Structure 1
């Protein structure tokens, strides 16, 4: 939905979980010489200033990435993610936060393909300008739910898909499930990462199970619950990642990482985490 702007939420606890998992998956994919295609269906602007009125309105990054930047006890998985953020701020400090396309740009190898989809005109211009010089990269002004089907299967028969819609529309949940179903029909081996919000909506609660039912070759589900709801019971209590066809190393990495993140990012007295997996 064009009203949604990620600048208000950049670097929050949900971004920490999403990008920590993304980094780990891309590191694993790079262990084989053969190139792969990464498709980001809802790319956003690619990078965000944390000094803007949007970012400062609620200061969500202060309870997310800012809590990790100066810690010396980071687990390896988190340390890798934080290092990318530090590299994105070469002057030191925390003035900017990289969006998913920036993590992808920095972790993909020159031979790997990148496909970015974005509908918001301003974010699209920023995205296109920043990625114009990267080889094997395409930026599409198109709905990523629709555009994904033409990207699978890739010639290399290796693919990672990141699906991270705004979920402002209730219909996004059903569209996401339909999109993942079609993607797996086209290329059953695709590694598909789906981020979802932990909010007071039945569609959000049902989404992990609906995605798991589409994944006969295996799935992983990770969730963090770290933030209180408002007095009416609404808000973003946490978020989760469902990874279809996950790297075999991911479960062990998250087993050590999720408890750490739950405590480090907690805004409630009793933060919690969930990690479950079904292997192929």
Structure 2
């Protein structure tokens, strides 16, 4: 195990990607045009999530506690509460899927334009429908680790760490599609040349803390794992974070995989 004091991060694009999701919050607040989009979707999402939470607490909490323990031992109630929190988060997320995806796309493009790095004649903005991709092998890991989300915060940390690289890749997908990066080069950029094959899921380097996309994805995933608010607010600010990350990549000369290809 590598000690934190001896760990040397590559930070290939000049900044530690771990901090982009945090920076994105203050960046959004300081730009009214971005904040307006976030507030509109967040208010709708939070109201919907709270409504679903109240309904589930009233109708599903007690039955789930009984299902966990027929004798209603004290520990069955905290577990049932965690399940209700997870269920309300998932329900709200599914109901807001399309509007949230459209808002994420608008925030991403608006941020890159704000930074003067959106190339109007060269970059393309995805339609909302194209944001929804088919299930891949990485989604198997996400599905298996979903139960961790029933443990507030601690479960979120563990789940985010396991899925970090794939979350980072997913968050940066809008940038890769904007510059028309082929799927093969996306994998090279995220996993490296040696581990960009079909079995990247099983390479230990995929889960390496030194991977820029893993560090970015970990923080994005953790913020989104925060009960109720996380699934509504942070997917939006994470789109801003992805744009800020993309801007630094552009300032550095573009994705590393393209620099090697030239």
- Shared topology, TM-score over 0.5? no
Say which structure, 1 or 2, has more relative contact order (CA 8 Å, 6+ apart): 2
Larger Rg: 2
Hey, which of these two has a bigger chunk of strand by percent?
A: 1
TM-score band w.r.t. shorter chain:
under 0.3
Between structures 1 and 2, the one with greater helix share:
2
